[in-house]
């Protein structure tokens, strides 16, 4: 069974793109992190007026997982938005609190300590900058920590005598999120009317990853950005965010802030779902802005089939728009071409 690490080892990043900024000793935004304002990327839109924030709350679909028409609600949200907020999802609020607390515990460690578990140039797990960093002309106001499977190898380095709680919390969260993601995938595929044989195969996915994200308070938030506009590569992402910061792009509207709702998780679609649905469930472009006061934490759960699995538009797709390939092949194309990856496999 293919793993995430195997997929990335043949497309290593430069080490300078892996090491985040030393936020511990940074008092001003360095030139390397100051983004120029352009027509396509207006930094002044980062902090939306309160009226727009209130309006955006009504734009993003909010779906109760226990609703009797949940298949229709999710299907419509996936087709029209590519993102929705999910309530009554069954993940205990106490566990979500614990995950955020442990993430803050990790990112509050001295930089020297965090660098002991720096992600290798060709690696998939550990501490480091976002993979998109190598495609950008400026750096991001962000640091991350990626977990795939048990975090014990890295956690035991960070806390030689006190890593059990961190591991227990992260493993429990991954277990519960895996079950939720499986449930969501079943509902999405039901809306797409996938055949039972295909359904069983797709539901055999057994790979996942947990991404802890840190966006420290920034002395000049309008000059930089947490994460640049991008789509996610996997089937779907289930996200907890501690504070406002996530924005999604919707045609005809522009950038919309996804304001946190108490007890809700954000679900957005990735490139693999775009491929499987033959473009019916498009992957959503999103970005993250930072602020001057709060240290924002987000926890993203990614799910995907084993990397040696074949992915292609479902059999009922009359005119496939994407080529068939393995998950590993797509991730390697993505590692080389980032946001142009889907264009590379589009059937001309």
Q: How many CA atoms lie within 13 A of 127 on its CB side?
A: 25
Contact in structure between 6 and 326 (CB atoms under 8 Å): no
Instruction: Measure the CA angle with vertex 111, ends 106 and 112; round to 5°.
Output: 115
Interhelix angle 70-80/164-191, nearest 10 degrees: 90
What is the spatial distance between Cα 164 and Cα 321, in angstroms, rounded to a whole number?
47
The full DSSP string for 67-115 is: -TTHHHHHHHHHHHTSEEEEES----HHHHHHHHHHHHHHHTS-HHHHG
What is the spatial distance between Cα 29 and Cα 157, in angstroms, rounded to a whole number?
30
What is the spatial distance between Cα 271 and Cα 260, in angstroms, rounded to a whole number?
24
What is the spatial distance between Cα 224 and Cα 21, in angstroms, rounded to a whole number?
13
The residues that are catalytic are 296
């Amino acid at each position: 069974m293919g793993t995430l690490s195997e997929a990335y080892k043949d497309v290593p990043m430069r080490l300078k793109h892996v090491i985040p900024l030393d936020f511990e000793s940074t008092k001003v935004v360095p030139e390397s992190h100051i983004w120029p304002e352009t027509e396509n990327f207006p930094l002044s839109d980062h902090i939306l007026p309160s009226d727009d924030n209130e309006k955006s709350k009504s734009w993003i679909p909010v779906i109760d997982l226990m609703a009797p028409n949940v298949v229709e609600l999710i299907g419509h949200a996936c087709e029209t938005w590519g993102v929705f907020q999910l309530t009554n999802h069954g993940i205990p609020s106490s566990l979500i609190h614990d995950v955020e607390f442990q993430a803050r515990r990790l990112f509050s460690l001295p930089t020297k300590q965090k660098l002991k578990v720096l992600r290798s140039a060709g690696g998939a797990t550990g501490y480091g900058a976002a993979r998109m960093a190598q495609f950008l002309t400026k750096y991001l106001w962000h640091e991350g920590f990626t977990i795939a499977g048990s975090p014990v190898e890295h956690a035991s380095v960070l806390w030689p005598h006190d890593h059990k709680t961190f591991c227990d919390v992260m493993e429990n969260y991954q277990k519960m999120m895996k079950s939720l993601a499986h449930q969501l995938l079943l509902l999405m595929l039901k809306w797409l009317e996938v055949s039972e044989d295909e359904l069983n195969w797709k539901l055999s996915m057994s790979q996942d990853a947990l991404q802890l994200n840190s966006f420290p308070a920034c002395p000049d938030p309008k000059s930089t950005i947490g994460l640049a506009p991008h789509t996610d590569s996997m089937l779907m992402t289930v996200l907890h965010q501690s504070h406002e910061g996530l924005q999604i792009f919707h045609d005809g509207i522009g950038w919309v802030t996804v304001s946190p709702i108490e007890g809700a998780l954000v679900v957005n679609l990735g490139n693999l779902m775009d491929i499987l649905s033959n473009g019916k469930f498009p992957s959503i472009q999103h970005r993250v802005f930072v602020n001057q006061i709060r240290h924002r934490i987000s926890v993203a759960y990614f799910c995907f089939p084993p990397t040696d699995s074949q992915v292609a538009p479902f059999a009922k797709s009359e005119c496939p728009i994407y080529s068939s390939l393995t998950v590993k092949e797509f991730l390697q194309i993505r590692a080389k071409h980032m946001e142009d990856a889907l264009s590379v496999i589009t059937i001309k």
